[in-house]
Structure formats: C-alpha cells, structure tokens
Copies of this chain bind each other. A is one copy, B any other.
C-alpha cells in the first residue's frame, strides 16, 4: 500500500469560490457551448430582459439587435429597446453580479427568473475578449452612459467612464458588448430563428435584426394590444414546503403567526386561519412568526393540506393565445392541417400555477427537423423526435437541450398510434408546446429545458392528446377519402363493359346506359374534393374549443 497522506495536507488547500468563478470555469452550464449556440444565448438573455422590462412597464416593445463580425473571429452584439430604462444606481449589479436582480424572489411570470442571464453575458465577454459592456440608458429621471464589467473573483461590478448626460433621445436601454468564441450562422438554431420564434410568440413586439452581412430583418408587431399582464401573486399555501414556511416566518415582521399567514400567502383569509388553528392545535398562532419552529411549521403545512382552498390565482399567468399559436405554426411550418388548444391552468408541486398551450401540425414542413439540429449533426440521424417538437416556456423559444426536456419527454411518451400516427419520428407531424408559470422549473441554469416534473409532463401530454384527437379525425377523413376514391376508380373501370352488356340484354342504347351508370356511381362514390376536408377542419376546431379532457389509460 502506498504511504498514507495526512488529512491536514489534503485539506490545506480548502478554498471558497464565488458563483462567478464557478461559471467562468463552467460557462457551458450557462449555455456557452458551441459558437452558434453561444451567440444565440447572448441575444436570448438581452432580448428576454428587454421584453420583461417593457411588459412590466406597459410599453409595446421595439427591440433592435445588431450583430457585427470584428477581426479575430470576434463579434459585437448590440441590443437596444424602448423600455423603462435601467436606473444607474443598479446598472452595475444588474449587469455584473451573478444572482442579483428583481425577479428571483417574486411570484411573477417573467422570462427571466434567476438574475444570471445578463451578468453571464458580461462574464462571457470578459473571459473571451477582456472588454467591458457599454450601456446607455434613459429613464424618467436620468440619461446616462457607462461601461460595466465584472470582478470575477468577488462577483462585483466594476463601472467606468460614467457619463451623467447621455445622448439618448428616447427612454430605453442600449447594451453593446464584444464576444469571442461565438459565430453567426443562419441556421435553425441561430439568432435569426430565435428572433423569428420570439416575434411569433410575442406578437406585441417589433423586433429588428441587422445581421453581420448587413441584411436587415424586421418582425413587425402583429397587434398593438399589450398581452394580458401577468399579475404578481403570493404563494399558494398548497405549494409551500415546511422549510419555505420557516424561512418566510423568520423574515416576517407580522404581529403573530396568524397575521403572518394571512399576509404572506394567497387565499388565506381570517376564516381560514381559524380553521388552521382548529387543526394544528399544538401551534401557538399568537406567537411571533420569528420564533416559529420546524415542528410547528410542519404542523401548519399538514393543516394546509386538510383545509379546502380556492385554487391559485390564475391571473398570474400570461399565455401566447390560441390565435397567435396558429399564426406561429403556419408561419414556421406551413402545414396542411393544424389544431391548437389552450388548457385550463393547473398547479404543480401543490401550489405553483402553470398553464400549457399546445398546437399540432401535419403536412407541409411539419416533422422536418427545423430548430434543434446540433452543429455537425447529420440530417435524419438517430432521434428526429426533437425536430418535431417546438418548445416554448413563458413565450421564450427553447432551441437547445430538447432531448432532456419535460416537453419532449411528454410528447414522446404519447401512444401516437392511437391518433393515426404510426411512428411519430417519421411522419410529417410537429407539436408546439408553450408552458407558462410564475416559476418554470428549468433543469439547468441555461434554462433551455424544463425539468421532468410528473404533473407538468402529464399536463403537456393531455394538451398534445387534445390536439391529437382532432388530428386523428382529420387523418381518418383523408384515409376514408382515399378509400372511396379507390372504390370509385375500380367501379368506373367496369362501367364501359357493363353498359355494353346491359345494352345487349335490354336493347337500350349503351350510351344512355353508360351515362346513367356514371351518374349513379359518381353520386355514390366520387369524393367531393376539398369540401369534405374543409368541413372536417371546422368541426375539429369547434370540438377543440370545447377543450374536454380525457385521461389516457
């Protein structure tokens, strides 16, 4: 045996590290892996922030993205918006402190939720070019410009060249950064496709892209109506873990536990507090919440489960909308058939509300690999299933890591044969899913895949199956038509012969007989091209509207 080494020696290099150091070393976890993906990640982070800020401020977004190729294979990315403008006193932390932001602790449906994205861009710019990020912003109070970078060791912002009187003419924020290890490519997982899908799922936004070749693409807003504003909500008692309750209580300044419960959570009235008192008799509801112990909290959480609650407030959710999903699918896939459904909101983990929208497309470009091909991957290689699933979360297109996502998992697990699809991977069929929630449980920091929570998978399955039933009727319609068409042709082949024979037997003119035979066959067998299809589709839509639920097995 080798000589043993002392624990003093082994542990002498024990150190602490900042979250920014961690992500410098593991930038692939933020989505910086592969040059094309990295560029899409940068644009995604900035555009998501702009959309969030505009939505919260009640402004119809005008977003402009400019990408230029610099020397040495580096790129410049500029993103400007007409949003509320980021105040100078927080600009440093917002752009250069990982895990700082307005979103992490709020129960509000937003695209961002972690306080990582924009700081991740600053970090990635620094480690690939050593450059600072330039910001110009105009709020209702100020108009300034500055440069920001991140001190990676301490996870702190470094601000320089602050100019108090900026040159902006309008409210909003513009960000300019330079990046290495990125590449602009007009592929299905590149910036253009990302922005196109973003525009489709955010029809109230106008998005302009100036690409490195100088080509301008303009996605003009389809509606001047702001999307239904997602309301900030409080957590529902059924979604609260014992640990949550203890932490909330210890930070509360409420007079006593009863008041605290009513203040901190949604749907908790004084009447409900009285019910809880009855059930959790061992808990002192008149004590200060700061002294709430684990055991008491556990009793309250158990009591929560025994009280009858009104469900979570659903106006905390904002969807893409059926009409817009239809437009998006037509635009991306140009299918022969499509069906869309918006489900009723549900909850997962007991109390976190979410809602699923689904669309199914058949024919056209459906089923063709559009959005998820990886760099260097062969067309049509092993699993094509990802190519047939268009994924969105909180209206943000997800272009990467699809194989690891609850959405793909749910769609994949459906027994498609029941819906007239023999092999989902091989037929011209695509499914679009958008999941909206105040908290989307992403499986990774890069937020490209939804974690495989059972309740979410189940709900996505039900939504896709809703659409599947409509598709099935369409497909069996087509198949019936094809069967009739074939009968018609077979019979017509005998009409000549038969009319001759009948003419001999009856002595009537074979021409007359032929004409009436033809009329007879046509009236009974000839498919009424087109008409039948159109009707079928209308019927389908009507049924989809009813949105009835059927559980599978």
Contacts and interface: CB of A to CB of B under 8 A. Distances in A.
B87 A16 contact: no
Contact of A7 (B22, B87, B376, B443): B87
Interface string A23-61: 011101100011000000000000000000100111110
A387 to B, nearest CB: 13
Contacts of A163: none
A56 B445 CA distance: 31
B84 A33 contact: no
Contacts of A442: 26, 28-29
Given A4-B59, A382-B385, A441-B26, A15 B105 contact: yes
A158 B16 CA distance: 16
Nearest to A173: B7
A517 interface: no
Contact of A413 (B128, B378, B409, B443): B378
A266 B235 CA distance: 54
A229 interface: yes
Given A6-B140, A99-B19, A140-B7, A29 B404 contact: no
A393 interface: no
A29 B19 CA distance: 15
Interface stretch (A90-98, A254-262, A326-334): A90-98
Given A10-B56, A84-B4, A412 B381 contact: yes
A86 interface: yes
B16 A84 contact: no
A445 B378 CA distance: 29
A14 B33 CA distance: 29
Contacts of A8: 87, 139-141
A19 B16 contact: no
Interface in A369-419: 374-378, 381-383, 385, 401, 403-404, 409, 412-413
Contacts of A5: 56-58, 84
A378 to B, nearest CB: 7
Contacts of A374: 409, 452
Contact of A247 (B3, B14, B152): B152
Given A84-B5, A383-B412, A452-B374, A100 B16 contact: yes
A425 interface: yes
A87 B17 CA distance: 20
Interface string A168-208: 00000000000000000000000000000000000000000
User: How many copies altogether?
Assistant: 2
A106 interface: yes
A166 interface: no
A28 B443 contact: yes
Contacts of A100: 14-17
A166 to B, nearest CB: 14
B403 A10 contact: no
Interface string A58-91: 1110000000000000000000000011110010
A451 interface: yes
A29 B445 contact: yes
Contacts of A90: 11, 14
A104 B15 contact: yes
Contacts of A242: 130
B443 A445 contact: no
B53 A10 contact: yes
Contact of A4 (B58, B97, B413, B451): B58
Contacts of A57: 4-7, 10
Contact of A401 (B115, B381, B404): B404
Nearest to A401: B404
Given A10-B84, A15-B102, 18 more contacts: A2-B226, A4-B59, A5-B58, A7-B139, A11-B94, A14-B93, A15-B100, A16-B115, A22-B104, A26-B114, A26-B441, A29-B442, A33-B451, A126-B243, A127-B241, A376-B454, A381-B412, A444-B445
Interface of A: 1-8, 10-11, 13-19, 21-22, 24-26, 28-29, 33-34, 53, 56-60, 84-87, 90, 93-94, 97, 99-102, 104-106, 114-115, 126-128, 130, 139-141, 152-153, 224, 226, 229, 241-243, 246-247, 294, 297-298, 374-378, 381-383, 385, 401, 403-404, 409, 412-413, 424-425, 439, 441-445, 449, 451-454
